[in-house]
Amino acid sequence: MAEALSQKEIDALISALSTGEVEVGEAGGVLKTPQRQIRVYDFHRPDKFSKDQVRSLEMIHDNFARLLTTAFSANFRTMVQVSMNSVYQLPFGEFIQSADNPTVLAIVNPNPLPGKIVMELHPSIAFPMIDRMLGGPGDGHGKNRALTEIERVVIRRVFTAMMDSFVEAWRDVIKLEPEVEGIETNPLFTQILPPGEMVAAVTLPIRMGDYEGILNLFLPHIVMEPILPRLSTHQWFSTVRRFSRQESRDRLTKRLMDVPLTVSAVLGEVELTLGELVNLQKGDVLLLTETGELKVTLLIEGRPKFRAKPGRRGKHAACRIEEHLDGGENDEL
């Protein structure tokens, strides 16, 4: 005879049935509680960065890619497109074994963070950049060799130029002062970490004209550890949004105040034929179109904006603004 259940055991069984912890079989019997799902964990590739932190890294470097697009297009005087592909984790030793040899590697000190980070620029895009920096058309097809001394200096400047965009992308998390410490072409010479140390690898495809390549960033966990709490999505967004609309406008206005503009003063104009221009000699007098009270037109970036009276201020020639042109002082340049 089966042992009878106590009232306490019956209540516990009914509670388990109502919450789904146990199931009822077809004949009314109680099935066994299902086994918990087992998640495979690879001790050789432990996940040091949480999914939330990886998402934050993706957002930061997506901004980095946009900043690099603008900076590279200006520096190389051609259209350059940089995009953010992926962020994944791998042991540093796996990167050393899989990296091309030769390749182009920059060892960067991410002050004030400890340790070093590594940036890899694939030769398929590095050599066109070098050619472009040296005044060429950006031709680097088929080149896959170690850098010469001159090429090392040039590519170091390229990585140094990246640092401004890198600092700007990270400014809402930490104020960095990165410094390029060295350029290497052999991955075996970049033993800055134990092979088992996990790094976050950021992949940024680059397209410049007909050439394509990859920029890889390797951010070791030991370097990122001091700021990992700030890389949660909630913390990152709250930091990004700390500026009000007025504060953002003030920051933008302050930056615009540093934009250089060319200002020129035109005393008068005269029209000449090509023959008259060719026959001009020393001592000839040209009659300008300005008559009456002497005034000059001030041009801002080649566009007339003010009428002014010429004079002197100390030892320097100067102009005093008398009136605005084209509808007033708030008119666009």
Tens of pLDDT, residue by residue over 176-186, are: 999 999 999 98
Determine the distance from the C-alpha atom of residue 118 to the mean position of all C-alpha atoms in its chain, rounded to a whole number. 16
Q: Are 158 and 129 in contact (CB under 8 A)?
A: yes
**Does residue 41 lie within any of the structural domains?**
no
DSSP 188: G
User: Which run of H or of E encompasses 159?
Assistant: helix 149-170
Give how many domains the chain has, as a whole number: 2
Residue with tokens 């990886």: 54
Contact 118, 105 (CB under 8 A): yes
Q: What is the tens place of the pLDDT at every residue in 56-77?
A: 999 999 999 999 999 998 888 8
Q: Which of 233, 256, 279 is the last residue of a domain?
A: 256
User: Same structural domain for residues 94 and 227?
Assistant: yes
Same domain? 298 vs 152: no
In whole angstroms, what is the distance from residue 195 CA to residue 172 CA? 31
CA 220 to CA 92: how far, in whole Å? 8
Q: What is the pLDDT of residue 331?
A: 46
* Assigned domain for 330 exists: yes
| Tens digits of residue pLDDT in 233-256 | 665 555 555 555 666 677 778 777
pLDDT value, residue 156? 94
Name the strand (E) or helix (H) holding 155: helix 149-170
What is the predicted pLDDT for the residue at 5? 66
Confidence of residue 39 (pLDDT cuts 50, 70, 90): low
Which residue did the predictor score with more confidence, 43 or 276? 276
Return all residues near 192 (Cβ < 8 A) that are at least 6 apart. Answer: 107, 115, 116, 118
Q: Is residue 13 pLDDT above 90, yes or no?
A: no
SS3 state at 307: strand
CA dist., res. 125 & res. 157, Å (int): 15
**b/e map of 52-81 (b: 16 or more CB within 10 Å)?**
ebbbbbbbbbbbbbebbbebbeebbeeebe
Q: How many CB atoms lie within 10 A of CB 199?
A: 26
Query: What is the pLDDT confidence band of residue 44, given thresholds at 50, 70 and 90?
Result: low
- In this predicted structure, what is the pLDDT of residue 199? 92
Alpha carbon 327 to its chain's center: 40
Does residue 330 register a pLDDT over 50?
Answer: no
Residue 6 in any domain: the answer is no
Mean of the per-residue pLDDT values of the chain: 81
Q: Note if the pTM is more than 0.75.
A: no
In a domain, 77, yes or no: yes
pLDDT at 230: 85
Which residues share a beta bridge with 207?
A: 81, 212
Residue 18 lies in a domain: no
Q: What number is the average pLDDT over the span 206-220?
A: 92
Question: What is residue 26's predicted lDDT score, i.e. its pLDDT?
Answer: 45
Matching residue, tokens 């001091």: 226
Beta-strand ranges (E) seen in the chain are 80-82, 86-91, 104-111, 117-121, 177-184, 198-208, 211-220, 263-266, 296-300, 303-313, 316-324
Q: Is residue 298 part of a domain?
A: yes
70-108, pLDDT tens digit by residue? 999 888 888 999 999 999 999 988 888 888 888 999 999
Highest mean pLDDT pick, 20-24, 95-99, 265-269: 95-99
Based on the fold, state whether residues 91 and 224 are members of the same structural domain. Answer: yes
What amino acid is encoded at 226 in this protein?
P
Q: What is the mean pLDDT of residues 271-298?
A: 81
Question: Which of residues 210, 228, 256 is at a domain's end?
Answer: 256
Task: Give me the percent of the chain exceeding a pLDDT of 90.
Answer: 34
pLDDT for 307 equals: 87
Tell me the average pLDDT across 39-67: 80
Least confident range of 187-201, 243-257, 305-319: 243-257
The residue segments making up the domain with residue 117 are 51-256
Say whether both 65 and 185 belong to one domain: yes
At residue 328, the pLDDT reads 47
- In sign, the C-alpha dihedral spanning 266, 271, 273, 277 is negative
Question: Does one domain contain both 96 and 215?
Answer: yes
Helix, strand, coil in percent for the chain, rounding step 5: 35, 25, 40
Q: Based on the domain organization, do 298 and 212 belong to the same domain?
A: no
Residue 82 and residue 115 share a domain: yes
Residues 137 and 72 in one domain: yes
* Same-domain status, 165 and 264: no
Least confident segment among 27-41, 84-98, 186-200, 281-295: 27-41
Q: CATH number for the domain including 93?
A: 3.40.1550.10
Whether 133 and 218 map to the same domain: the answer is yes
Same domain? 250 vs 130:
yes
Q: What is the DSSP letter of 45?
A: S
The pLDDT value recorded for residue 1 is 47
Which residues, listed in sequence order, are joined to residue 219 by a DSSP beta bridge?
200
Q: Are 127 and 209 found together in one domain? A: yes
